[in-house]
A = this chain, B = another copy of it.
């Protein structure tokens, strides 16, 4: 990368971002924040696994904040992912004001700002100027503080569930044991349980009892 901290560097496409700024992600020490309208943030090929791996090896407790628009809660898969992330210790919030451009700030030292997609590719500008980064960071902070915790947000907006999830809820609601339910749905025991765990995350439940409570609460059962 460059040696001049006041020179912004623009990278085109996620491929290049991963190659030339990957070390920034891997090198996060204290805080990693990101704001985005959708979930494309992590489409960088090969990066996610490496980041997870790097994190596992360090004992440093990294604070991760992720801010999204409500639209990410529109489909079950994205939502599931969000809850998984939250479950791994990241703070996830939803804000109703628009987040057109993706913003990433690492350790208050470097910011990565995405531009609009051009021919399917987005440009990423890596900024290191302390004042600029601080400014971006504080803006993020303000939005963050006004936003709503994911679980809290969920309380008033039931998740959108697919057919299969509803069928699993039906099995659970009928009091079937996992084995019987899995057989009936044509799933392996492992997969069925994976699904149940995902559903429980979606429902923000720590026990099956709680999950049942919420499922009914949100009107997800017959």
The residues of A with any CB-CB pair to B shorter than 8 Å are: 172-177, 205-217, 221
Contact = CB atoms under 8 A, between A and B. Distances in A.
A208 B205 CA distance: 12
Give the interface centre of A175, A176, A205, A217 by most chain B CB atoms within 10 Å.
Answer: A175
Nearest to A206: B175
Nearest to A196: B209
Give the interface centre of A212, A214, A216 by most chain B CB atoms within 10 Å.
Answer: A212
Nearest to A215: B213
Contacts of A221: 213
A221 B174 CA distance: 20
Contacts of A217: 216
Give the interface centre of A176, A206, A211, A213 by most chain B CB atoms within 10 Å.
Answer: A213
Contact of A210 (B172, B207, B210): B172
A3 B112 CA distance: 101
A175 B200 CA distance: 11
Q: Please name the 5 residue pairs, one residue from A and one from B, whose CB atoms are nearest each other, closest first.
A: A212-B212, A175-B206, A216-B216, A212-B213, A209-B212
B207 A172 contact: yes
Nearest to A221: B213
A210 B173 CA distance: 5
Contacts of A174: 210
